[in-house]
Amino acid sequence: MNGFKAAMWAEILKARRSKLWVLILIGFSILPLVSGLFMVILKDPVAAKEMGIISMKAQLTAGTADWPSMLGMLAMGTSVAGHILYAIFTAWVFGREFSNRTNKELLALPVARTTIVWAKFVLIFSWTFAIALYIYFFGLFVGWLVELPGWSLEIALKAFKTLMIASMLTAFLQSWVAFFASYGRGYLPAMGWAFFTLALAQILAVMGWGEWIPWSVPAILTEMSGPLAEPLGSGSYLSVILVSFVGVAATLRWWQRADQSS
């Protein structure tokens, strides 16, 4: 049994026994359900008003009830909700070691500290990948239930690609949440960072700098800030990967070198 396997086993056990993953799964389930509800309303706003789903005064002027809209909403929702919900999970995976004071039990083991940190990252990445798959397929199920028009395999695959890439980019950026959970020895600094980058991403995207700001890239990719005139350049993707890589390196370095005096 090698060290990574042991560390991975421990991380999976800790995550399984926690109720957090269930809560986050419930949180993400809202996304396809709300998207489906919007589709129902958009399909027949008058009926929706009569049924009391929306207020009689509500004015729905934009959007159409079809598969591209439904899948587009899922991708947008994943990039925004993922920014916070993935951060909560990441902050928990790293920050709980400090709030439970179990960090000191990880520091002088035959398994290298960096191996333990890698196991945590692999867990986070695998989990976010599974969540993205869940959102997509649950979204397809909801879309099928509300009988959306305009289905094509091409649209479904394109949406799948967009959603999965947006989710992966969001997951990569969690390396900085991991760093702040470690550096700040708890959840709060990590969550503070997540909210700060969410706000920063929105502001800079509105100002037109979004494609160069890693935290804006997933939302821009999912056309959160408007339809893309042309596809995102490789520089945008590269900025996310580079920044994420630095976050991973900083987290590893911190666990290797920082004083663990508490």
Partner 1 sequence: MSHDYAIHIQDLTKSYPGVIAVDSLDLHVHTGEIYGFLGLNGAGKTTTIRAILGMIKPEHGKIEVLGHPIGPNGKGPWSRVGYMVETPAAYPELTVRENLEIARRMHAIEDEERVDVIISELKLERYSERKAGHLSTGNLQRLGLARALIHKPELLLLDEPGNGLDPAGVVEIRALLKALTHEQGITVLMSSHILSEVDRLADRIGIIHNGHLIEEYDAEGLENLRSQRLAIKVEHPEQVMRLLESAGHQIRQVDGELKIVDASAIASPQMIAQLLVESGHPPSKLVLEHEDLEDHFLRLTGGQV
- The residue ranges that bind partner 1 (CB under 8 A) are 1, 3, 5-7, 9-10, 13-14, 17-19, 100-102, 104-105, 107-114, 255-257, 259-261
CB of 21 to partner 1, least distance (A): 12
Q: Which two tokens stand for residue 14?
A: 């800790």
**Closer by beta carbon to partner 1, 152 or else 256:** 256
What are the DSSP calls for 7-63, one per residue?
A: HHHHHHHHHHHSSHHHHHHHHHHHHHHHHHHHHHHHH-HHHHHHTTSS-TT----S-
Long-range Cβ contact pairs of 37-45 (< 8 A, separation 24 or more): 38/63, 38/65, 38/73, 39/65, 39/69, 39/70, 39/143, 39/146, 39/148, 40/65, 40/146, 41/65, 42/69, 43/146
CB of 3 to partner 1, least distance (A): 8
Amino acid type, 255: W
CB of 84 to partner 1, least distance (A): 23
CB of 243 to partner 1, least distance (A): 25
**Interatomic CA distance for residues 215 and 173, integer angstroms:** 7
CB of 2 to partner 1, least distance (A): 8
Q: CA nearest 179: which of 169, 167, 198, 192?
A: 192
**Closer by beta carbon to partner 1, 57 or else 257:** 257
**Closer by beta carbon to partner 1, 105 or else 147:** 105
Residue keyed to tokens 């086993």: 9
**Closer by beta carbon to partner 1, 102 or else 152:** 102
